[in-house]
Structure 1
Amino acid sequence: MAPERNENEGENADNGVLATTDGTETTGIGIVEGATAQVEVTLPTAFDDEDDFDDDVVRGEDVTLVQLEQLEQLPAERDEVRGEAPATTAVPVASVSAASAEPAPKASVSAAAAASAAAAKTAPAPKTAAAAQASSSVASTSATAPAASDASRAELDHHERVRPRTSEITLQSRRLGDFEVDRESSDLLTADRLLDPAHVVRPEPEGAWRHLVYTLSGRRINLGDSKRARARKQLDDRIAVPLSGGARFVPVLSRKGGVGKTTVTTLLGMALADAREDRIIAVDANPDRGTLAERVGRTSGKTVRDLVRARGDVHGFNDISQIVARDHTRLDVLASDADPHVSEAFSDADYRDVAEVAAHFYSVVLTDTGTGIVHSVMEATLEHADELVIVAGLSIDEARLASETLTWLESNGYAERVRSAVVVLNTSRPGAALVRADELDAHFRSRVRAVVRLPYDPHIASGSAISFRDLQPETRDAARELAAIVVEGLRASSVAA
């Protein structure tokens, strides 16, 4: 229902002051500067055709005064303002703003209402007729109670200062799941996403004629790596896969001497150390004077016996690095005793002490077990084993001894280790083999997880120190393949455990 209009429309038609406050929404009343109150009035947006919009325009006359105390404590649901004049100082309502019921921009009811609000801010006396009448009421009231007026205005100023402003932003903490879906985090700014492939500098290609084309074209034509280089990099990626958990022990076994057990240990360690970022060590646990340290070409003058004696004084990697020898691939080697009489004293207890120290500083521990599998060190070696590597030669007796080694392990409680083991068929003589290598491959594949063929290499056959970069490409590829298979087996065993 629209509020009743002022009868004196001709005189104060543009004052924008309500004649009565019946039906006026008071929830929008707020105190503004100049000691005036502003009332928000909601205008209907829909009306019948016979109704004139002028009927909904607020006609201007005086709006009744409200006590300051009532104005501060008005409830939100109160829908009318009482029209009785207060006994204490009151604030005149000088302006009325109109807004539609639906979300729409607020419009001023009349120009006079806006003018009166501006005048109230700049001058102490109101300029409109309604404001003049209101000010007269204030004057009459203030004449009877000047002390109350001053106290009320002071209280009003205090409330204006301490009352919180709704426009201030309140900072709130957010949980991880409260973030918007369409907002990205910084980890999505990856190089693959941001860098333009056309401007990314590709590495120099590997391969003879591909690198020649790249050089002659002024580094503008890059055909990429050759097939061999891509295969090598794929093998390196397989070897470099991280291993979870503690140190892993991989013994290299053989029941017959001269089949290349020490050579396989050296090549496996070099391939692992060359591709991986963690530390690799090869321990020579041969009781009969092993030659593992001689195959890497570098010696420290210390042996496993020195590590056993100093195990209590090893507190960091610097202490153990003074005992081991390291080659150019970063493979560390712990040599055996050169004196055979002293080496006989190296027992399973000594190996456990060495293994305990090595497990603190290395990720993979290779063990060259020497000839035979029944000597004193073998029991402790098999107890620590996570994966087995058995070496077989390309002759009838060497192949039989390797197969019998598998049988002995299965009979002594290591059947599970045999099924996950790797057999290396080592070609130690030049020329064609006297036995069918394919038949040997098929036989061992029926008993173990994988079989790797190691080709003949004159660099190895010379018996001198092995340089990994000087090996034939086929020999390096076979060593890397063996290392990749060993790493895959170690990862599988850790998942199963």
Structure 2
Amino acid sequence: MAIKRNGTNESDGAGVHDGSTGELVDASSGDLAASLPESLSIAISLPTTVHAAPEDELAVAIVEIPVNPGAVEVTQPTTTSIDVVQPATTSISVVSEESVIVPLPESDGKNYTRRNRRDGEVSTTPETASMLTADRLIEKNHKRRTAPEGGWNAFVYAVTFHLVNRGDSPKVRARKELEARIDKQFVGGARFVPVLTRKGGVGKTTVTALLGMALADAREDRVIAVDANPDRGTLSERVNKQTRSTVRDIVTLAPTITSFNDFSTMVSRDDTRLDILASDTDPLLSEAFDENDYNVVADLAARFYSLVLTDCGTGIVHSVMRATLQRADSVVIVSGGSVDEARLASETLTWLEANGYGDLVKNAVVAINTATQGTNLVKLEEIEAHFKSRVREIVRIPYDPQLAAGSVIDYATLKPLTRASARELAALVMDGLPVRQGA
């Protein structure tokens, strides 16, 4: 070990030279510490430590020369310079209002339209791609009109191999227009139409059945006629009975009727798909059918039917009549052809006006049954003129032997004039019904 003292290296020995006197001082003496200078530096050279990788690390080394973690070469990071390019300045030129607009090239007027040009005609100038439209290139398939109905027009359509179609005959067109009026569509709930008069025996029940059959025959929805006569009505006898149920059964079983199938088991249906709900056959029970009972029946009928006709009794002051008129969207007044029958029908209108049903009177339709006695002795034109001053429309119901019998009505075998009158009555009633509920 070499000791550097004041810049002079001395050899290791038994003593140390005194720097101030130059004498050798005994190192073993106790004055050695006192003789040492205040500043003393010692330089020691150590051997370089070499790290040797174990054999197990060398066995799994990826490279042939293992990395010596004891000697890591640190490289000085290089400086990367980035050149920033100044974006070029974009100049916007403003065109003054005095700039000249280059006009489109002149054409002959046929380059952009094919008007007044026959198919296949070549344009004098080149056409643009927009001229190749579907209307120009695709052959239109014209829909063939439906085959005409009625006499001569149908014959001409057949002999010309469907080339000449003159359409339906005037008679057929009138029939289809009438059917369209009867098949009027509604928005909302059911429509109620009571048929009433103050006098019995004028054909009120027959008119109710005829009206219902004409409606059901032309319409696709459901139509029902309810016999609300508290004095033993006969509406159910106008069709073939299919059940013994009555309005009383509807009232009793109302909580259990949850579907149309449940309701349909209590009505009778004829060939026109008109459903009829019978009244009580026992006069003692029929008197018990009151306003509340009718409301129960009407509420259920409104759930399953679009049109509800009500065959009312002659007692217009009965509570059932009040409930019927409160639901009515229109009314049909039935009158006979005699003097007293026409007068009582007119008094029915007066009673309605006096009790707050003036709107129903203005919208009413009067059906004059010409099959009653005395019709041939009176002037029907005068009766019609009287009612036209009070109601919306008048319809004559002609005499028909099947109706006069007072039994089951077969709508298909009625006289053509009778069916035409029933259809006219149905169309007039539909004309007066609102499309929307409450309108």
Tell me the TM-score range normalised by the shorter chain.
Answer: 0.5 to 0.7
1:307 match: 250
Q: Structure 1 pair 217/460, CA: closer, same or farther in 2 (3 Å)?
A: farther
User: Per-residue deviation at 1:215?
Assistant: 4.7
| CA drift at 1:310 | 1.0
- Identify which range, 260-269 or 240-249, moves more after superposition: 240-249
1:432 CA drift (Å)? 7.1
Tell me how large the CA RMSD over aligned residues is: 3.2
Residue 420 of structure 1 is matched in structure 2 by: 363
1:368 corresponds to which of 292, 304, 311: 311
**How does 1:337-348 map onto structure 2 within 5 Å?**
337-348=280-291
- Distance of 1:326 and 1:223 partners within structure 2: 40
Whether 1:235 aligns to 2:182 is no
Q: Which residue of 1 aligns with 2:208?
A: 265
Cα pair 1:293 1:299 within 8 Å, conserved = no
| 1:212, distance to aligned residue in structure 2 (A) | 4.4
Is 1:441 the counterpart of 2:400 in the alignment? no
Structure-2 change in CA distance of 1:244 and 1:452 (3 Å)? same
Check whether the contact 1:259–1:393 (CA below 8 A) recurs between aligned residues.
yes
Give the greater-gyration-radius structure (CA): 2
- State whether residues 266 and 295 of structure 1, in contact with CA within 8 Å, keep that contact through their aligned partners in structure 2: yes
Q: Name whichever structure is richer in helix by fraction.
A: 1
Superposed displacement of residue 440, structure 1: 1.1
Aligned to 2:298: 355
The separation in 1 between residues aligned to 2:273 and 2:426, in whole angstroms, is 15
- Quote the sequence identity (%): 59
Offset at residue 217 of structure 1 (A): 5.1
- 2:229 maps to which of 286, 298, 303: 286
User: Counterpart amino acid of 1:468?
Assistant: Y
Whether 1:393 aligns to 2:336 is: yes
Q: Which residue of 1 aligns with 2:322?
A: 379
CA distance in 1 between counterparts of 2:147 and 2:206 reads: 33
Secondary structure of 1:424 counterpart: strand
Aligned to 2:18: none
* 1:491 aligned partner: 434
Residue 88 in 1 paired to residue 31 in 2?
no
Distance change in 2, residues 1:320/1:475 (3 Å)? same
Query: Secondary structure of 2:409's partner?
Result: coil
| Contact 2:338 2:375 (8 Å CA) reproduced | no
- 1:89 deviates by 5.2
Residues 118-157 of structure 1 mapped to structure 2, 5 A cutoff: none
Aligned partner (choices 389, 392, 404) of residue 461 of structure 1: 404
Which structure is richer in relative contact order (CA contacts within 8 A, separation 6 or more)?
2
The AA in structure 2 aligned to 1:336 is S
Question: Is 2:189–2:437's contact at 8 Å kept on the other side of the alignment?
Answer: no
In structure 2, the residue matched to 1:48 is none
CA gap of 1:313–1:200, structure 2 versus 1, over 3 A, is same
**Closer, same or farther in 2 for the Cα pair 1:231/1:495, shift >3 Å?**
farther
C-alpha displacement at 1:226, in angstroms? 2.0
For 1:34-45, what aligned pairs fall within 5 Å after superposition? none
Contact 1:386 1:493 in 2 (8 A): no
Which runs of 5 or more structure 2 residues have no equivalent in the other structure? Answer: 1-78, 94-137
Which amino acid letter does the alignment assign opposite residue 301 of structure 2?
Answer: A
CA gap of 1:303–1:204, structure 2 versus 1, over 3 A, is farther
SS at match of 2:80: coil
1:328 paired residue number: 271
Aligned residue for 1:491, secondary structure, equals coil
**In the TM superposition, what is the alpha-carbon distance from 1:467 to its structure 2 partner?**
2.7
Shift in CA distance, 217/269, structure 1 to aligned 2, threshold 3 Å: same
8 Å CA contact 2:338–2:372 kept in 1: the answer is no
Separation in 1 of the partners of 2:334 and 2:143? 46
SS at match of 1:447: coil
User: C-alpha distance in 1, partners of 2:242/2:161?
Assistant: 45
2:181 maps to amino acid: R
2:199 paired with 1:256: yes
Counting only pairs closer than 5 Å after superposition, residues 10-21 of structure 1 correspond to structure 2 as: none
Contact 1:232 1:477 (C-alpha < 8 Å) held by counterparts: no
Note the C-alpha offset of 1:329: 2.0
Aligned-pair distance for 1:403?
0.7
Q: Indicate if the aligned counterparts of 2:338 and 2:374 stay in contact, CA closer than 8 A.
A: no
Structure 1 gaps, min length 5: 1-86, 94-98, 103-193
Quick one: structure 1 residues 232 and 430, their matched pair in 2 at CA, closer, same or farther if it must change by over 3 Å? farther
Asked if 1 retains the 8 angstrom alpha-carbon contact of 2:267 and 2:276, the reply is yes
The 2-side partners of 1:451 and 1:282 are apart by 21
| TM-score computed with the length of structure 1 as normaliser | 0.57
Find the aligned partners of 1:236 and 1:348 in 2 and give their Cα distance: 35
Q: Once the 2 structures are TM-superposed, how far is the Cα of residue 214 of structure 1 from its aligned partner?
A: 4.3
Match of 2:143 in 1: 200
Output the TM-score relative to the length of structure 2: 0.64
Q: Taking structure 1 as reference, are residues 249 and 432 closer, same or farther at Cα in structure 2, changes over 3 Å only?
A: closer
Q: 1:404 to 1:209 in 2, by over 3 A?
A: same
- Structure 1 CA distance, aligned partners of 2:401 and 2:162? 37
Aligned residue for 1:409, secondary structure, equals helix
Paired residue secondary structure (1:474): helix
User: Structure 2 vs 1, CA of residues 278 and 422 (structure 1 numbering), >3 Å: closer, same or farther?
Assistant: same
Cα distance change, pair 232–248 in 1 and its aligned pair in 2 (3 A): same
Q: 2:352 aligns with which of 409, 430, 450?
A: 409
